[in-house]
Structure 1
Amino acid sequence: MACAVVVRRDAFLTAGGFQPRLFVYGEEALLAMDLAAAGHELSYVPHLGVRHLPHPAGRDVSARLRREVRNRVLTAALRRPPAVALRTVVAALRECPRGAAEAVPDLPWAPDHGRRLPVAVESGLTRLAVVSSSSAA
């Protein structure tokens, strides 16, 4: 979650920072992929304290879900192999059809801004997906 991330400034800038087109809700996934592709190590550090002070009025949960799903589709289109991107779209259509539809206007932009991840990073993402899906079952 981007609201609970600590990252070295130089690594953040070298990786390209957050993609403005994604704005919020899921933007950290693309940045994490780009950091890993640049050779940076990503770690979960449980003893590190990070505070996030959300807006007291709360959030529109359905708008957040739509944006998360939209950004997941765009991130897959930008960095993942076509088969993974297609599976992401299918899953997005099941989870939140409106969110998947909100990605459509931006999909023509993706090929000019996309790049495939190094094999080791893609392999790690594939392993992570398998572990995540088996622990969710």
Structure 2
Amino acid sequence: MTVGAGGGACMNARRAMGRYGEDVAARRLSEAGMTIVERNWRSGRTGEIDIVARDGDVLVVCEVKTRKGGSYQHPMAAVTPRKARRLRDLAERWIQTHGAPPGGVRFDLVGVLLPDRGAPVVEHVRGVV
């Protein structure tokens, strides 16, 4: 096996874990009464919004962070000031493309912790950015 192949397998596993975390987060947001508008919305090469949702007339830009149990960093610690700026920029681009929501924009974070055994632990924090 080549070095590139091993790195690719690791990247695929990380993407699969992220995708699973986003599925869990979308389900949780829906259960909380939100409507999922889009998932993995991309704006060129500048990045992606994991989940765009509506909470009444408020547009919710949601960042999802998924970690395995025992990871060195809690999922919520992964949103740095730089990441927050990027999310605000992406939200502006989304609004330019789709129009401004009547109730404004809120930035939420969903942290999904995957323990070695049992169900995922989900933490949803509203208005983080």
Normalising by structure 1, report the TM-score.
0.30
Bigger share in strand = 2
Bigger share in helix = 1
Normalising by structure 2, report the TM-score.
0.31
